[in-house]
Amino acid sequence: MVATARQGRFAGAIRLLGGWGPVSRTEYYNVLVLRADDPRAVLGELTRMGEDAPDLLAPLARLVPADRTFDFRNREEFEARAPDAVLGWVERLKGRSFHVRMHRRGFRKRMSSQEEEQLLDAVLLRALEEVGAPGRVTFEDPDYVLAVETVGGRAGLSLWTREERARHPLLGLD
């Protein structure tokens, strides 16, 4: 899971997340990584806890679980590995609207989040055409958002329905 702490709330974010597994600092400002056995369950528990005690979640700006991960050393390696990671979601995206949203930390001036989003959108659109169930990219209330979170040379990806995005405001995907 990739977490972003609010300004001045870094220590509180570490304390809050530490109950679910090891929390690691990163070299990026206010960015933490949490290793949890079931990242989606952690998000669900925190969402429920926040409904009862909204101030409890105040240290967190964003929290995004990763269902699939891979390491990369450069843009070329990212572009070689990311398509395989997203193609596993073709079945769920058949005939649906979606877009890819990347939050990139690192590789400044060597990778463009927007270009990588467009690349992965195109990979998925081609795959959907090939299986005879075209999808479409939209930013207006899509059925799905595919989140790509990178922290240095590690990428985490997850796919979120409209309902899941509404239920979990900590995702902050757009």
Question: Helices (DSSP H) in 54-137: which residue ranges?
Answer: 75-87, 90-93, 113-130
58: number of Cβ within 10 Å: 14
| Structural domain count, the chain | 2
For the CA atoms of 135, 78, 10, 35, the dihedral, rounded to the nearest 10 degrees, stands at: 90
- What element of type H or E holds 45? helix 39-52
pLDDT tens, position by position, 114-167? 999 999 999 999 999 999 999 999 999 999 999 999 999 999 999 999 999 999
pTM of the model: 0.94
Please check whether residues 87 and 149 belong to one and the same domain: yes
Average pLDDT over residues 31-36: 97
Backbone phi, psi, residue 78, to 5°: -60, -45
Please check whether residues 84 and 165 belong to one and the same domain: yes
Backbone phi, psi, residue 126, to 5°: -60, -45
| Residue range of the domain that includes 28 | 2-64
User: Which CATH number covers residue 121?
Assistant: 3.30.2130.30
- Asked if 48 and 98 count as a contact pair (C-beta separation under 8 A), the reply is no
What does DSSP say about strands 68-71 and 154-161: parallel, antiparallel, or unpaired? antiparallel
Q: What is the pLDDT of residue 173?
A: 92
Please check whether residues 91 and 50 belong to one and the same domain: no
pLDDT tens, position by position, 49-58? 999 998 999 9
Please check whether residues 80 and 164 belong to one and the same domain: yes
- Asked if 125 and 142 count as a contact pair (C-beta separation under 8 A), the reply is no
Q: Which residues contact 90 (CB under 8 A, 6 or more apart)?
A: 124, 127, 128, 131
Point out the domain boundary residue: 64, 97, 112: 64
